[in-house]
Structure 1
Amino acid sequence: MNFELQKQYETTDAYNMIMGLKGMFQDQARAERFNTSKALFSCRLSEGNPVSPHVIKMIGHIESLEKLGFPLSQELATDVILQSLSASFEPVILNFHMNGMEKSMTELHGMLKCAEESIKKSSNHLMIVQKTTTFKKKGAEVYEFRITNNCCSIYFEDMLYGHAPLMNGFRYSYVYLMIHKLESFEKFKEFQNEVQNQLGKTIKCLRSDRGGEYLRHEFGDHLNKCGIVPQLTPPGTPQWNGVSERRNRTLLDMVRSMMSQSDLPLQFWGYALETVAFTLNRVPSKTVKKTPYEIWTGKSPGLSFLRKTIDMDENVHVHKARLVAKGFKQIQCVDYDEAFSPVAMLESIPIILAIAAYFDYEIWQMDVKMAFLNGNLSEDVYMTQPESFVDLKEARKVCKLNKSIYGLKQASRSWNIRFDEVVKGFDFIKNEEEPCVYKKVSGSKLVFLILYVDDILLVENDIPMLESVKTSLRNSFSIKDLGDASYILGIRIYRDRSKRLIGLSQDMYIDKVLKRFNMQDSKNGFLLMAHGINLSKSQCSSTIDERDKMSRITYASAIGSIMYAM
């Protein structure tokens, strides 16, 4: 305490002294906190300015608030810094949220410095245009446009802008390459002319994510002139463009994969992007009954560029490359003990979905990529060297497996055991009566997890907790996020949240069963067999001709197919 304060309080008792000092310095601390928070929240990085001093300055304000007794949580501090960045960092922010990253202040600073270098080298943008058919008005067509940075300039050096329109209701994509995103307006007019002149379709609405290129006066004047209604999604809500976001990520993942497996110069990335969009437009999708190309154009696509087979039901099967165990036959109790692996009972799914409908819970679906490769082996298993990967110097030797792979009898069980260990580590509790249904409770927050081989269904009442579970699963396995559940195990899910109703449909599966047994033209009706009839062995085929006739009737297969239908 300085001399002036000592003299001021030399005749004051301890209590009054403390209260006086508290009132004196508390007001100063509050004013300092106000000024610090004001400086923090008003920080904005101007376009072209270096990011490092800006972030260091904001971290200083955050640390000052902590010293004043008002610390910001890690997530809030990260959000404040990301919100202060210039528009050129939008793709970095999008990538940050899509991948569920968690960074300390130091790590965030380093990441933004690296991103700044990438932005300086190239402008990496991909535009997604989405068409949705959610309007009740017949023929209404809405297109969603968005531009995002690919955040992969370390891989794509001389990247141009990519304009990839996505038709949501059809899952059909267009791709246009640009030098600068200011060309978006011209590309939109090119897209509009192609849609109107070649397909006879009319654009009714344009939905965008408030990108500056869509808010320009010339763009708005063109929309008004053509009678196109602009729709803007709220700021910071990429989930409103869920289909576009997932398609964006799919395109980028496939382009990276194609380029990494080829020896082509990096400037060929644009051709790879066009090839990816061309391929996705012509392959089947679970979301729609036909290929996107067929639905969008009304013509059957040519699939000669794919390695494929067509079965007797005219279903297209695309071949996938997968390493499978090859070698001697496995012997029980020698190189495997048990092969049984539980899966969720089909009856459990409607029960959980009914709970979700009643309480209006979120329903999310995820898929584990190459699930069986995650299993651990407790036995010594050997296999011959894979074809085209034989070590010529050691051609007579075999491979010892360190991890489970496809083709092993215990592969499914090993995967199930590994998954069970991992989710229990996330505080999930397994249902004893249903071993593939898990529950996690934290106060009033609740999450159900259903596993069916490699399909995961998450049902929860708290979105932050859902994101936490998804992040934990991503850190343990390679997982594809499928978004809101719409199709699982051949069952289509319809939901009306306003009425808290969920409908399940197996129409596609039943149509396949009828077609398989040549009954697709049969009329609907009640079961022709009377109730109460007892079948016995005396009714079985007795003569050779009868047995030969019955051998051609797949009765057991038909009954098994019907049993799967709910």
Structure 2
Amino acid sequence: MVETETGLKVKCLRSDNGGEYIDGGFSEYCAAQGIRMEKTIPGTPQQNGVAERMNRTLNERARSMRLHAGLPKTFWADAVSTTAYLINRGPSVPMEFRIPKEVWSGKEVKFSHLKVFGCVSYVHIDSDARSKLDAKSKICFFIGYGDEKFGYRFWDEQNRKIIRSRNVIFNEQVMYKDRSSVVSDVTEIDQKKSKFVNLDELTESIVQKGGEEDKENVNSQVDLSTPVVEVRRSSRNIRPPQRYSPVLNYLLLTGGGEPECYDEALQDENSSKWELAMKDEMDSLLGNQTWELTELPVGKKALHNKWVYRIKNEHDGSKRYKARLVVKGFQQKEGIDYTEIFSPVVKMSTIRLVLGMVAVENLHLEQLDVKTAFLHGDLEEDLYMIQPEGFIVQGQENLVCKLRKSLYGLKQAPRQWYKKFDNFMHRIGFKRCEVDHCCYVKSFDNSYIILLLYVDDMLIAGSDIEKINNLKKQLSKQFAMKDLGAAKQILGMRIIRDKANGTLKLSQSEYVKKVLSRFNMNEAKPVSTPLGSHFKLSKEQSPKTEEERDHMSKVPYASAIGSLMYAMVCTRPDIAHAVGVVSRFMSKPGKQHWEAVKWILRYLKGSLDTCLCFTGASLKLQGYVDADFAGDIDSRKSTTGFVFTLGGTTISWTSNL
């Protein structure tokens, strides 16, 4: 077959020492045809590495397909055959992501005829094989393709035989293992008989019009599960894509007209709002007895500070002007001004896990915000700070602030706040989760409460609203709190809950829009994949000339990667692998690397509404793991990834080299 289809002669056959290869008749045939036989040494499969690697790939994929469908082991050969069929029609890494079938035949491969292995299928019964009142179809199970023959292959369990057919309706949502739930009455299928395609007429029509495809190709590639309709042509106006311009001020962190310093705040058109925000901050600081004025001791240095201004967008669309006094902590010296600085925050996977529990068990979900959280932490070192700009006490200009409580910007501020909060939670009977030290749980007779802490943001989940309100009162007595009511937003992620349908969505669509706008990609043409198969990124594509290095120095590569990474970590597992790949070239990104980053942004443009949706299905936890076996071009290392789902919704994922 190989010699006939390619015009080339088989010169060598490499195999192991299996009896089927060293049999006298086979050896004599090869000798007569001039085919050299190479036999590997026993116990050394690496000498035939390409074939052994493919054997493993076939076996693993076939096993997965068979187990997913729930078919018995007796169908292993069908699963392997189907796996080989699919591999020949999928992109091949050694062939530079080209499709083997297309390279072999020189014809374009279609995919519309591909179906899920082991799914329920309703096979049409010819009129001469049934009476007028018999059913027009019977339930079978799809087990493969016809290869050199037309149609599909099916397992007819009722008659215990394998049949072939081309007039079929597939139900790809139901597998063999779910066959008990399939109703044997196929009256509904009979009513859909108009969907069956007259394959002969369709084939003849296509051949007459096109002339390039033969009947075999057409018969194997017609999707028999849907009616044939004419292709709809787009009426959209085609416009050239807008390229990223490096002169954009992409490094600005304050893109919403926020002042950079105290003087700018006083000259801003909203100066009155900024002044009110600074006064509120100072009232909190003084009311909390954060410092006391004193003379600076000999040998001590006073830390500097600055005002930081932000405009907060609330979930209801309103804007809140916020000013924060921040200490310049980079002036601190280890061992003198601080020792330990580590402070935990709740893990993203814990947040998603709790949200899944909220959806399944229909729990209340409330949110609290701690006003000036770091001010509650008690300092263990003697620290001094100059008086805040704009609020220097008249007549005491020479005095400095001796800090009694921690302030934002201090290296130990997060740690001191967490220690105080942790002690309080233990006092009121909450237990800290061992695997996440920012998750606290308290059990009651018929209910429980879960509290998650991310610096100054809190989520509280529980079935008893009275218990939750009691916890809020206890927290408000100890700390200055702001009750935000039912949770609407956490860490820039929107929480959209539909109690009627029992769903809870976690979305970052607004964040993604800001990212696209920041990199001038909000008008880019969307794509359907996170990273195109034509991207084969390597270190060889890094800049080699001074001109290329100068060009890439103006491209915000690291900034874009950081923005993508936050979306990936929070709600977008679909871009985890793509972001991991482009992150490998942070030190020396080239033009191709930047094109890949823009491709990911274009993918996000086309999937703005993609989010995590938790339903009330179940609390069943499932995990999946896979590796690409030496997929990195430069190091030949493997990329490993895992996904864990709760009730079918992803809660934890990673993609690592």
TM-score normalised according to structure 2 size = 0.37
TM-score normalised according to structure 1 size = 0.43
Structure with max Cα Rg: 2
Hey, which of these two has a bigger chunk of helix by percent?
1
Hey, which of these two has a bigger chunk of strand by percent?
2
